[in-house]
Amino acid sequence: MTDFQVIASDLQFPEGPVACSDGSLFLVEIQRETITRIAPDGTVAIAAWTGGGPNGLAAGPDGALYVCNNGGFLFQQITGFNRTRPGVHPDYAGGRIERFDPATGDLRTLYDRCGAHRLCGPNDLVFDRHGGFYFTDFGKNRERDRDHAGLYYARADGSYIVEIAYPLVTANGVGLSPDESVVYVSETETGRVWAFDLDAPGQARKHPFPSPNGGRLLCALPGYQRLDSMALDAHGNLCIGTLISGCITVISPAGTILQQVPFPDPMVTNICFGGPNLRTAYVTLSGTGQLVAVAWPESGLPLPFSR
């Protein structure tokens, strides 16, 4: 099993870690419905109550944190691990993209729709160097049916949002190649990773039939493994939280599965890089409510707007 250090525990389904230059971290707690700050000494404090289901978190060009809010999940304990379950949160009113300013505490909604279509369950986001961001909408899993998922691009000032790919199947993680020519999307229930080749920010070059969504299939995991959120390393390898098997799956830009780094939790949901030379991986173990740190063999890919 991977040798790791527990940074914080007793978290309520943590996701979306963001490592800061001062040694602190922000993350979201989906079940607690908060943005949470973890100080360098491990002290945990609530930075904001968002309501709904804060799911993804990223630092933007203005120093603010941007939030994918899925509108709320339901949870259950199975074999001692916390998991989501199908069904609609009693306060669910749709999904949204939010902007949070840690300096002032201001929290506001930037987007709750794309054109005529309401957002269902925004999940994960990544900024490009131009200050826009790609985000996934997972849809919503009800007891007897689910929504289609999608991939979107938006500006941080709330002025522009466009649909890039639809439909996807439970689109979860999203990441950008080092040269920002490809945006990657992981699907939870299919265990697949799709690559969308970009001609310009927010403009994907669509692949024809038989692609169901305009992307090209990069990789499909064998067996029953479900994919969650991701970060890229400096070589452009995708490091993806992998459910059921409880690991970080590392996939090359060519689609080769390079390795799987195991953790003692079947709900390994997300990863970010921080520390000196970005050689520390911070991983959310959502089933046990932990944020852990592990030395990583490769440097993480620097993000354009690190805090």
Catalytically annotated residues: 228
What residues contact 83, with CB distance under 8 A and at least 6 apart? Answer: 75, 76, 77, 267, 287
Distances (CA, A) of 152 to 8, 106, 168, 222, 247: 32, 24, 11, 28, 27
172 is in an annotated binding site: yes
Name the nearest CA neighbour of 68 among 119, 31, 130: 119
What residues contact 177, with CB distance under 8 A and at least 6 apart? Answer: 183, 184, 232, 236, 253
Q: Which two tokens stand for residue 150?
A: 């999608």
Q: Tell the burial category of 153 from Cβ atoms under 10 Å away from its Cβ (0-12, 13-18, 19+).
A: buried
Taking the C-alpha atoms of residue 94 and residue 60, their distance in angstroms, rounded to an integer, is 23
Could you tell me where the beta strands, DSSP code E, fall in 105-225? 107-111, 113-114, 117-118, 122-127, 132-137, 149-155, 161-168, 171-176, 182-187, 192-200, 203-204, 216-220
228 is in an annotated binding site: yes
147 is in an annotated binding site: no
Binding-site residues for substrate: 123
Binding-site residues for a divalent metal cation: 172, 228
Binding-site residues: 123, 172, 228
